[in-house]
Amino acid sequence: MATVSLRGTEPRSNGGSHANPNYTYDLIVIGGGSGGLAAAKEAAKHGAKVALFDYVKPSTQGSKWGLGGTCVNVGCVPKKICHYSGLLGHAIKDAQALGWTFGDPKPAHDWEGLSSPVRDHRGMLNFLYRRGLQSAHVEYINALTAFTGPHSVTYLPKGKEEGEE
């Protein structure tokens, strides 16, 4: 396990506060969905030193994904591509009923032919989000993370097993 600290303000006895320079980051964001990406980039734009942690445990079927959260990886975006494919299938049937002809063999659906562009589009978005974080000078850490105190998080570096130092 590795630990990083969150910069912030420490209370003063007179009721004010002062910045504590002993911390690693001004802001730590856990989660690389739309909200986490926006918060991290906006804070960095205003001069904060920011780290964004994002990690999804692989499903029992082995599914895993990159930045962008549920919508980009397994929600809205893949659903819309699949929906569009279905609409095209219906349009082809309707077109045939209205005099359009298509070559032999008749049009048929190929699941892998749909799955591949969904994966490619998702991968392209993951890449663009990662580049966006780099451009904003946000440190991206692909690791399972938990807050361990008001100013610290612990995370398991990629490639390490739980309990391994």
Q: Give dist(CA 86, CA 84) in Å, integer.
A: 5
Q: Does 73 or 163 have the greater pLDDT score?
A: 73
- Is-contact 30 53, C-beta < 8 A? yes
Nearest-10 crossing angle of helices 111-135, 34-45 = 20
* Confidence class for position 65, pLDDT limits 50, 70, 90: confident
In order of start, what are the domains of the chain with their CATH numbers? Answer: 2-156 (3.50.50.60)
The larger pLDDT score, comparing residue 44 to residue 156, is at: 44
Higher pLDDT, 152 or 39: 39
The Cα–Cα gap between 5 and 152 comes to 4
Q: Of 60-69, 90-99, 156-165, which gets the smallest average pLDDT?
A: 156-165
